[in-house]
Amino acid sequence: MEMTFRWYGANEEKISLQEIRQIPAMKGIVGTLMDIPAGEVWPRERIKSLKDEVEANGLTLKVIESVNVHDDIKIGLPTRDQYIENYKQTIRNLAEFGIEVICYNFMPVFDWVKSDLDYRLDDGSSTLAYISKNIPTDPEEIIRKVENSTNNFELPGWEPHRLSQIKQLLEDYKEVDEEKLRENFAYFLKAIIPTCEEVGIKMAVHPDDPPYSIFGLPRIVKNRDDLDWLCNVVDSPSNGITLCTGSIAERPDNDVYEILSEFCQRDRIPFAHVRNIKYLSDNGLDFYEAPHKSEYGSLDMYKILKTMYDNGFNGYIRPDHGRMIWGETGRPGYGLYDRALGAVYLNGIWEALEKGASK
């Protein structure tokens, strides 16, 4: 297991690499080139300078999150083949600089969705929440809502340029149901996984967040059976999962421990996001992102890490989101302090597991 921290790049961040390095036992950065639009090739020189910058600060760059998949690939338009070729070139370029894992997702139009980016907890901290009644029925309204609460940071998956064409995008997805989306996903994987095998990259799909359909758009990476489908459609160790405990558990009928156990055993989890969530309703559909420690949320973090440990997890891990605490302001979900606390807590559990096992 190697602990990592998501970092958006010097021009996109107020958190410095040096601050991240000072988090005890922090080893690596989960990096990105946020300004490169989906569909374009990531230039070698940009990857190199990111890697040099990260390494100059005593950290490693082995994981990228995300290389976004162009909508034409998800919709299945004839233009997809060029975008897939570009994606393959990006894979080759990243491998050349030692990248091992690429996190991505296959969600139509919207990446993650939350209703509240500044949800106040009793202790005065703020966090992200999903309260169904606060999700507008009009998708344009959720875009306005999110744009108004970003603290002027661009949020991953919420690229203003792309979402400014939301009407057209929704129109383009009109004929894409679950079956069609699955077909297009298989087409994409069959095209890129051989390249990944050739250069030693593992693709790691992030589960849908939330893991069910919203705004009438199909979602196909939402439960155990979907993950099983994914692993089988191209049966390769290069075709893996970013197991995000929070996203998977946003549907309480998903047994996050069982899913972790199965897909660790199948060696398909090269990267994990580990966070806790607190259910606010019996159906579990309303929740907020809780502090990492088990007692604050609805997930048992010890059981999560023990399941990973016992089933041979040897990939990269990061605390997923964090609250805003101690007066910090910044990109919602991605402050320094609470994510640092999360990383240290997860590392502590892992040390106990390792030492307990060697007794």
Concerning whether 70 is annotated as a catalytic residue, the answer is: no
292: annotated active-site residue: no
How many residues touch Mn ion (CB under 5 A)? 3
| 8 A C-beta contact, residue 150 and residue 157 | no
Single out the residue of 71, 100, 116, 320 in contact with Mn ion (rule: CB under 5 A): 320
Interatomic CA distance for residues 214 and 115, integer angstroms: 12
Pairing, β 239-244 against β 116-120:
unpaired
Token pair belonging to 28: 């690596």
Whose CB is nearest to Mn ion? 244
Taking the least distance from each CB to Mn ion, the nearer of 262 and 320 is: 320
What residues between 28 and 57 interact with Mn ion by CB under 5 A? none
Catalytic: which of 71, 173, 196, 206? 206
* Residue 321 known to be catalytic: yes
Indicate which single residue of 75, 244, 264, 272 sits in contact with Mn ion (rule: CB under 5 A). 244
Q: Minimum CB separation from Mn ion for residue 214, in Å?
A: 17
For 171, half-sphere exposure in the C-beta direction (CA atoms, 13 angstrom radius) is 4
C-beta of 247 vs 307, nearer to Mn ion: 247
Left (φ > 0), alpha (ψ -120 to 50) or beta: where does 291 sit?
A: beta
Active site residue 334: yes
Beta strands, E only, the chain: 2-6, 28-31, 60-65, 101-104, 116-120, 126-130, 202-205, 239-244, 271-274, 276-279, 287-290, 316-319
The reply to whether 273 sits near Mn ion by the rule CB under 5 A is yes
- Return the number of the residue (176 or 301) whose C-beta is nearest Mn ion: 301
Q: How far is the CB of 116 from Mn ion (least distance, A)?
A: 17
The DSSP element (H or E) to which 178 belongs, if any, is helix 178-199
Considering beta carbons, is residue 72 or 208 the nearer one to Mn ion?
208
- Catalytic amino acids? 206, 244, 273, 320-321, 334
The residues of the shown chain that bind Mn ion, judged by CB under 5 A, are 244, 273, 320
